[in-house]
Chain A
Amino acid sequence: MKYSNISLANPNPHFVTWQQKTAVALGGVGLLFMVISLFNLTQALYQPLYLYGSLTLMAIGVTWYSVELYKNTEPGIKNDGVWFDSLVNRGLLGWVLGVVLTAFYVLLYWYPQVLGLHEDGPNTGIVHFFDPLSQALKGQPSSQWFVYGVLYTFAILFFGIKFLLKYRHSRYHTIRTLSVMFFQLVFAFLLPEILEGLNASTPYYNKDFKNIWPLHYSFYYEWNLNGMLEGGKLGMFTLVWGIMLTFVITPILTYYYGKRWYCSWVCGCGGLAETAGDPFRHLSDKSLKAWQIERYLIHSVLVFVVIMTGLVLYTFFSGKSQILFLDTYQIRAWYGFLIGATFSGVIGVGFYPLLGNRVWCRYGCPMAAILGIQQKYFSRFRITSNSGQCISCGNCSTYCEMGIDVRWYAQRGQDVVRASCVGCGVCAAVCPRGVLRLENKKDIFGRAQRLRAEVVTEDVHYSE
């Protein structure tokens, strides 16, 4: 009789090992330093040692915990118990996290003085806590945005490591995740901060070379345009590159690869969604109703940003801030408040634990709207269905962060061509029958036309 017991390899270790507990404790201590720094209790805390110590402890905590979580598991899909976990099934922990994240964004956008940013005086609080790193990178004091940038990058890097371990059986996911980690660390964080330090003598302008209008809605604001125009060669390059990105590079890449080249390989919002946001992906609403709301909302934002930018440029060239009854500065302020801050920040990330990790990308991002229109009508990208092998189980739809009812297409044997698909590839990964595949193929107008052949007779092949 053949007998075997290798039960050391428990596929779903719960929160039981001393290593997991230690990892959480270490990370917690790191986080605690940061939280305490908000309260200005003692000057001693604002030494570089505490900032770097805090970040290091958190990095160790997340990484060690992730390794411990997945080390005894077989490579493969790891969704056991997802809907039983209070943190990710809109349970108590999920709501607590949602409230904390939302509160953080509210302070960040509207009450930076609470975080320690003071217009007339040196930094205090958590902003002061980050001064050593800001000084080291660009020779300037920190700001609430610097704090945010560091934490954001940290989240993508270390939750990226967690994601890499979770999806280690898939080279597509490995390479894609390394890509978002790279673009966040180098293009969104290090390069802009270092260039800022090197060009401190010229007026500020945004130096993130992968941030594209209209997601980067302030690109055509006069302070940014003036900054670039007065910024010498680098400023000129930034201006030309920025315009090229929107009007030349984006359409070409989207034709060949769909919007995924940006949304799940390069973009910072996408980067956070795919790493720290991954555990919340199943919370997106899959109903037809949600799809209808999505189309109205995202295209409204696109119209809004185009009008707003048009008005801003009108003011830039004419010097007049009034056109008909519209005050261009007022419109711009409303866009910044409603879309830039409330939608993309507070709701976009704060509501991860409630509405899923792609709320902003799905309902709000005007860049995603443009890429989506092109993806739908003029791109090689599609998700192909493997004919009749679908068992309608629903894993693909459940784990689609964009709320696409992938199963609707898969069970018909139809290619998925949807404006919103960011090409993360998770539907194909979780499919237990190998039914879905992301592809770029030439026949762009033949996409999504063909359905699974019914096996009845030839003449009804295309009846569904």
Chain B
Amino acid sequence: MQKIVIIGNGISGITAARHIRKRSQSTIIVISKETDYFFSRTALMYIYMGHMRYQDTKPYEDWFWKKNNIELRRAEVTHIDFDKKSLHLIPAGPHTTNEESTRMRYDELVIATGSCPNKFGWPGQDLSNVFGLYSYQDLERLEAISEEIEQAVIVGGGLIGIELAEMLHSRDKEVTMLVREENYWDNVLPPDEAQMVNDQIQRIGIKLHLNTELGEIGGNASGKVTEVRTTSGLVLPCQFVGLTAGVHPNIKWLDSNTPLETDRGILVDEYLATNVPHVYAIGDCAQLRNPPPGRQPIEAVWYVGRIMGETIAHTLTGHRVKYQPGTWFNSAKFINLEYQVYGEVPPVIGPPFESFFWQHATKDAALRMVYHTETRQIIGLNVLGIRWKMDVCTQWIERGATIDHVVQEMRHAHFDPELHKKYYPEIKQQFAKRQNSRIA
């Protein structure tokens, strides 16, 4: 029987495994050195904040895997012999004493090893109590040193940065964020939205240093971090530094002379196939040679991993299909502000596009619609503090609906809870007012 081996039990690898099982009787083995079972990486923050326990973050009960005949193996892959189609494994996990390497043959291999936090060669970046938050082990390390932390510095203004800040803040740590940009995440968000996030951060008492870069990280004789110096000379005492300046594909574990073609990630074609036959890469570790229009070669996002997992499952079960992720979408929650994005909303919007932005006078709610000035067709939506239906939003974009149509039909996208106040009349009014003022 065909034997499919998947390296990585995150959302990409596990989605692949589940969907292969739906479609075939192949032997499926999922290897992870991180955890015995699949858990939701996006929920790590909630474990630290006490909203959930680790077991609550597992989307499937432990019996699920055996019942569906998906074998889970806790091990680290040390080498791949592509010619012989075999892996070298050493057992992993907290109770492992056996260090003996074993081999595992495969017919088809899927690499889904995710990401690693970026380090940019800052002096002191390898001191103890300096790390990012990505893996379950990162969370364990953070938990272990939590007692020692009174002040923490978070370096980087991305999605993990704000989560880590919120986590530490929930445990009463004094948190300072260093953000290189002018506003939080403004390499992705337009300034209005970015400022709303600044406000969220500052409002709960997290210190936010904008336009500030990390200079060096200082430690004591025992190698523990004691302070952070910014390039502008600011000195911040701290017992923990969170490195959250983005992530990069986790491929360093591959042999340096691996026959796999890599760039930043493992290079794959539109079928997610690598240059080596029977070897595929999906999720954060994959880099598309020819990304679809409007999409990036590497998109380290939960949803992308899931879609790639679904896609590869088809290819591996006799139904070869291209990776077609459709309209871009993503979501996040910045402290108390929910955010959804559909389509393209560039941080700087210029010709041939323009945008309509509405923000509630007092409440944390806003909406941005980006559209083509001539055709008036919308290309992207940012929705903050409001919930909209994904299906409706992506259909508008895919069918080229005009902004005038969308403003009229907004209520069809409505997904806020029942009895909540609807802002649509106000938005419509403001839209009409701005249109009129431009004509006049």
Contacts and interface: CB of A to CB of B under 8 A. Distances in A.
A7 B46 CA distance: 22
A391 B210 contact: no
Contacts of A84: 50
B318 to A, nearest CB: 13
A172 B331 contact: no
B204 A11 contact: yes
B420 A434 contact: no
B100 interface: no
B207 A4 contact: yes
Given A83-B50, A393-B57, A429-B417, 20 more contacts: A1-B209, A1-B232, A2-B209, A4-B208, A6-B205, A10-B172, A11-B205, A12-B170, A74-B204, A79-B49, A172-B418, A384-B415, A394-B43, A394-B46, A394-B58, A408-B59, A428-B417, A433-B333, A434-B388, A437-B418
Q: How large is the interface on B (under 10, 10 to 19, 20 to 34, 35 or more residues)?
A: 35 or more
A391 B42 CA distance: 7
B434 interface: no
B329 A388 contact: yes
Nearest to B175: A7
Given A2-B210, A175-B419, A398-B51, A432 B338 contact: yes
A21 B111 CA distance: 56
Residue from B311, B391, B418 having most chain A Cβ neighbours under 10 A: B418
A170 B53 CA distance: 25
A389 B59 contact: no
B292 to A, nearest CB: 11
Given A386-B390, A397-B56, A398-B52, A80 B418 contact: no
Contacts of B58: 394
A454 B319 CA distance: 14
B419 A392 contact: no
Interface string A73-89: 01111011111110000
A388 B301 CA distance: 13
Interface in B14-33: 19, 22-23
B169 to A, nearest CB: 7
B168 to A, nearest CB: 12
A437 B59 contact: no
Given A74-B204, A171-B419, A389 B331 contact: yes
Interface in B296-345: 302-303, 306-307, 310-311, 314, 319, 321, 324-326, 329, 331-333, 335-336, 338, 340
A240 interface: no
A84 B53 CA distance: 10
Contacts of B210: 1-2
Given A79-B51, A411-B59, A456-B311, A389 B329 contact: yes
Contacts of A75: 336
Contact of A387 (B52, B170, B310, B391): B391
Interface in A373-420: 384, 386-389, 391-395, 397-398, 407-408, 411
B389 interface: yes
12 contacts: A75-B336, A80-B170, A388-B329, A392-B43, A392-B59, A394-B57, A398-B56, A408-B59, A434-B340, A437-B387, A455-B324, A460-B319
Contact of B50 (A2, A82, A392, A411): A82
A392 B205 contact: no
A83 B335 contact: no
Contacts of A398: 51-52, 56
A44 to B, nearest CB: 46
A80 B232 contact: no
Contacts of B46: 393-395
A389 B53 CA distance: 22
Contacts of A80: 49-51, 170
Interface string B1-45: 000000000010000000100110000000000000000101100
B212 A1 contact: yes
Interface in A103-145: none
Contact of B52 (A12, A394, A429, A437): A394
A285 to B, nearest CB: 11
Contacts of B51: 79-80, 82-83, 395, 398, 430
A3 interface: yes
B68 interface: no
B99 interface: no
B340 A389 contact: yes
A460 B335 CA distance: 37
B374 interface: no
Contact of B207 (A3, A14, A411): A3
B204 A9 contact: yes
B202 interface: yes
A356 interface: no
Contacts of B331: 389, 391, 433-434
A65 to B, nearest CB: 20
Interface in A40-80: 74-77, 79-80
B419 A172 contact: yes
Contacts of B207: 3-5
Interface string B106-133: 0000000000000000000000000000
